[in-house]
Amino acid sequence: MQTEFPHNQSAHCESGVAANLLSHRGIPLSEAMAFGMGGGLFFGYLPFIRINQLPLVTYRSAAGSILKRLARAPGVRLHQRTFRSQQQAMEALDQALARSIPVGLQTGVYWLPYFPRALRFHFNAHNLVVFAKEGDDYLISDPVFPQPVRCPAADLARARFASGALAPRGKMYYLEQVPESLEPAPLIRAGIGSVCRMMLKSPLPLIGVKGIDFLARRLASWPRRLGRERADLHLGHVVRMQEEIGTGGGGFRFMYAAFLQESAALLAEPGLEAAASALTAVGDRWRSFAVMAARICKDRPQAEDSYPAMAAIIHDCGARERQVYQELSAWLRSAPCR
Amino acid sequence: MPMEPLERELLELICTTCNLREVEIDRLEGDIPLIGPDSPLGTDSLDALEIAVTVQQHYGVRMDSENNSRVVLQSLASLAAYIREQGGAKP
């Protein structure tokens, strides 16, 4: 069961898998473009949802939403299903591979043995593509690795049925149908429109630019409310969600800026180029916060480092992002549909 | 593998940035892992973030999603090679 598959390393698994699956079907797409067309950028601070006893902070849209949005493109049909039994799930995978179909899977990182032990953590929405089987091993294009990897069947089955938050329940998906080519302009516009709506118009104060301001206010009060030790724990968690977990840095802001830049060139739209530069500057600002936070967590603060100073930077990020999305919204209204 | 001047300069910068006072620079080689449990520096992902930003400030070389910091920060040698490749220079 061998299938040629174009493996490209990426920062973020879902965008990387989406780009690789489409590229395999003759529609070359960069990771950044998949992320942007999929409306991947977001912000949410949801303190009532706890991950490892720490509040949920997310810089991207819900797991699975990028693939779902791309699957809505004209001419694209994505087959997707979950399973109750491991045996059925693995049989369905083998049947698809026997038809030379590369299959996307949702998995739990903790159970994938090819991840270095230090990098395994309980995250159940990791996407990868299985493209072949050799003996009892599956050949996998895991987008966060530089080369394809191997995984024994028993381990893959366990990873597909990891329990806990976002349990994959054996979820598998593959492209059933794709058009000869994708018309990029409508998909770019739809992706940008979705991000602008979520970031500017959410009625919830925890979502979008309002959520960024909410995080800033809460963060300023952490040392008083939680005590220094727990405040630093919360802070380290925010930084990790922003700078690690496949965000590409700056809480996905650099990746979205790359999408805007690529779109600007593709559509010859200088307005998008300006938005890309502004968003890169926002990403740098988020990083300034993260570096200050890292120094505080590591107990080596500089004179200017403090919780109020970090809150001020986050408020500034929110204000700058609001400006970027307002300009993108204006571009959507003014630029002709093509 | 003996250290080249840029690698030594980077190591000194990293030690200052991350407040690594007990590192014996002269005993280390250019191909040491920079981050993680195998690194003799004892640095983790939060240190990696500071290193990436410090390198950007000192050499004008950006590490982001396009320039995969995981690969660049594998070792002192790979970081030095990346800075040379990007034409990075001290301000």
DSSP string, A105-173: EEE-GGG-TTS-GGG------EEEEEEEEETTEEEEE-TTSSS-EEEEHHHHHHHHT--STT--TT-EE
Mean pLDDT of A299-306: 92
pLDDT digits (tens, 9 = 90+) for A213-232: 999 999 999 999 999 999 99
For residues A172 and A156, is the Cβ–Cβ distance under 8 A? no
State the span(s) of chain A assigned CATH 3.90.70.10.
Answer: 13-37+77-177
Q: Which chain B residues are closer than 8 Å to A247 by Cβ? A: 65
Average pLDDT of chain A is 92
Amino acid at A156: L
Distance, in Å, from the CA atom of A148 to the CA atom of A143, rounded to the nearest integer, reads 8
Distance, in Å, from the CA atom of A58 to the CA atom of A42, rounded to the nearest integer, reads 7
Cβ of residue B41 closer than 8 Å to a chain A Cβ: no
Does pLDDT of A33 surpass 80?
yes
Sheet bearing A172-177, strands edge to edge: A77-81, A172-177, A103-107, A126-134, A137-141, A149-152
From A78-87, A139-148, A211-220, the region with the lowest mean pLDDT: A139-148
For residues A175 and A74, is the Cβ–Cβ distance under 8 A? no
| pLDDT value at residue B89 | 60
Q: Which among A11, A243, A258 has CB closest to B49?
A: A243
Cβ of residue B64 closer than 8 Å to a chain A Cβ: yes
Structure tokens that stand for B48 in this block: 């990696």
- The helix or strand, by DSSP H or E, that contains position A43, with its residue range, turns out to be strand A41-51
CA A161 to centroid of chain Cα atoms: 21
- Pick from A260, A256, A236: which is nearest to A248 by CA? A256
* Residue of chain B minimizing CA distance to A257: B65
Please tell me which residue, B23 or A92, carries the higher pLDDT value. A92
Greatest mean pLDDT range, A116-120, A236-240, A306-310, B9-13: A306-310
Our CA angle for A18, A143, B56, nearest 5°, is 110
Pick left, alpha or beta for residue A316 (phi over 0 → left; psi -120 to 50 → alpha; otherwise beta): alpha
Distance, in Å, from the CA atom of B50 to the CA atom of A217, rounded to the nearest integer, reads 24
Residue A167 class from Cβ within 10 Å (0-12 exposed, 13-18 middle, 19+ buried)? Answer: middle
Does pLDDT of B67 surpass 50?
no
CB contact under 8 A, A298 and B18: yes
Does pLDDT of A7 surpass 70?
yes
Does pLDDT of A138 surpass 80?
yes
Cβ of residue B69 closer than 8 Å to a chain A Cβ: yes
- What's A13-37+77-177's CATH class? alpha beta
| pLDDT value at residue B87 | 79
Please tell me which residue, A109 or A325, carries the higher pLDDT value. A325
Structure tokens that stand for A263 in this block: 């779109």
Task: Place A8 in a pLDDT band, splitting at 50, 70 and 90.
Answer: confident
Domains of chain B by start residue, with CATH: 5-85 (1.10.1200.10)
Task: Place A90 in a pLDDT band, splitting at 50, 70 and 90.
Answer: very high
From A6-15, A88-97, A227-236, A241-250, the region with the lowest mean pLDDT: A241-250
pLDDT digits (tens, 9 = 90+) for A167-218: 999 999 999 999 999 999 999 999 999 999 999 999 999 999 999 999 999 9
Torsion angle of C-alpha atoms A325, A279, A65, A189, degrees rounded to 10: 50
| pLDDT value at residue A116 | 78
Percent above pLDDT 90 for chain A:
80
Does pLDDT of A249 surpass 80?
no
Greatest mean pLDDT range, A2-16, A260-274, B43-57: A260-274
Distance, in Å, from the CA atom of B61 to the CA atom of A303, rounded to the nearest integer, reads 26
Cβ of residue B71 closer than 8 Å to a chain A Cβ: yes
| Residue count of chain B | 91
| pLDDT value at residue A128 | 95
Note the pTM of the prediction, 2 decimals. Answer: 0.89
Task: Place A337 in a pLDDT band, splitting at 50, 70 and 90.
Answer: low
Q: Which among B53, B66, B71 has CB closest to A287?
A: B53
From A127-131, A240-244, B45-49, B86-90, the region with the lowest mean pLDDT: B86-90
Chain B closest CA to A243's CA: distance in Å?
8
Mean pLDDT of B11-31: 87
Count contacts between A and B (CB, < 8 Å): 53
Q: What is the ipTM of this complex?
A: 0.78
Does pLDDT of B72 surpass 90?
no
Mean pLDDT of A42-71: 90
From A101-105, A174-178, A185-189, B56-60, the region with the lowest mean pLDDT: B56-60
Does pLDDT of B66 surpass 50?
no
| pLDDT value at residue A232 | 95
